[in-house]
């Protein structure tokens, strides 16, 4: 009896009215002797850049994504992110963050 595991990103969606958020689902499927037995899911959301607020400096700090890390290690997710996350879109996203998420 041989157990095997296969991992696939089976859902990748661009969501939100501004179209900058990528929502994904990774399925891990288990097979016994080639027959499907079970599966589990892991979900996540990524936005064009990582945004952290520095309380001491009272300023936003933006970091580009590591395009070799999850979920960008999947070719579909990486291709979608590369296609939609233009410099103009990243600028619009940063403005949105500053306008809506800055602490008072």
**Tens digits of residue pLDDT in 2-50:** 999 999 999 999 999 899 999 999 999 999 999 999 999 999 999 999 9
Residue 1 pLDDT: 80
**Tens digits of residue pLDDT in 48-74:** 999 999 999 999 999 999 999 999 999
Q: Where are the domains of the chain?
A: 3-101
b/e map of 43-53 (b: 16 or more CB within 10 Å)? eeebbbbebee
- Nearest in space to 66 (alpha carbons), one of 83, 89, 79, 49: 49
Average pLDDT of the chain is 96
């Amino acid at each position: 009896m041989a157990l095997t595991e296969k991992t696939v990103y089976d859902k990748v969606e661009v969501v939100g009215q501004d179209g900058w958020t990528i929502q994904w689902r990774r399925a891990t499927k288990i097979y016994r002797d080639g027959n499907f037995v079970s599966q589990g899911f892991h979900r996540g959301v990524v936005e064009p850049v990582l945004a952290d607020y520095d309380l001491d400096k009272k300023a936003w700090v933006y970091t580009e994504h590591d395009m070799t890390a999850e979920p960008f290690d999947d070719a579909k997710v990486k291709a979608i992110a590369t296609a939609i996350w233009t410099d103009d879109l990243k600028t619009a996203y940063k403005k949105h963050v500053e306008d809506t998420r800055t602490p008072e």
